[in-house]
Structure 1
Amino acid sequence: MKNLFLAAALVLGLAASAQTATTTQTTTTTSTPASVQTVPSQDQEKEYAKVTQSEIAPEVLKQAVAKYKGYQLVEALKAEDGSDYKLVLTKDGKDIAAFYKANGEFIKEVAA
């Protein structure tokens, strides 16, 4: 009878311990997403609208021509807020997208 009581106490102790571990995991899992904050990235995709070559800021054209000699302009796009330009250029079948600020400052280049 004593062994039966001891075995029951041991089983209850293990069950309580397992339940506490599960509760701790659930609490940890639940609290992790709550502590993650979404910070807007500077490189988030902007909305661009097509523009003609004559609508591109002169400084942007000047810098692009100097940096990408021999490339042809495939498409020109301007950010909806007017802050920067995306120029899609091609040379020898290789397309690239060059990003410039409205003042002509180079931002980045990516494969198109």
Structure 2
Amino acid sequence: MKNLFLSAAMLLAFAANAQTETGSTTALSNTTATTASVDQEKEYKKIEQSQIAPDVLKQAVAKYKDYSLVEALASTDGTEYKLVLTKDGKDVTALYKSNGEFIKEVTV
């Protein structure tokens, strides 16, 4: 009788431990997937000035009227534009959403 009770207790302990390990592994893999998606950057391809969305061009001209366009890039999914501009030998990279909304400016 003692052996039967001891066997049942050990079986329950192993089952509880196995469920705990599986749960923590799942939580870890979900955290890793979330971190990876946040850290991914968009890929950009070079485009001609005529291919810049009109809303983006209008906002950029208003904000950077004394600058010259060096290079224009568009994200491969078409949601963002990266404009490399220059003035007095200093380069600036401006990022815009495709609707013309300013995202940020990076001094190069």
| Matched residue count | 79
Query: Hey, what does 2:97 align to over in structure 1?
Result: 101
Structure 1 gaps, min length 5: 1-33
CA change 1:94–1:44 in 2 (3 A) is farther
Matches within 5 A, 1:36-51: 37-38=31-32, 39=35, 40-41=37-38, 44-51=40-47
2: CA distance between counterparts of 1:89 and 1:44?
Answer: 25
Give TM-score, length-normalised by structure 2: 0.66
| Structure 1 or 2: more helix by fraction | 2
| Alignment-mate amino acid for residue 88 of structure 1 | V
Identity %, equivalent residues: 69
TM-score by length of 1: 0.64
Structure 2 alignment gaps of length 5 or more: 1-26
Q: CA RMSD in A?
A: 1.9
| Candidates 63, 71, 75, aligned match of 1:75 | 71
- Bigger Rg, which one: 1
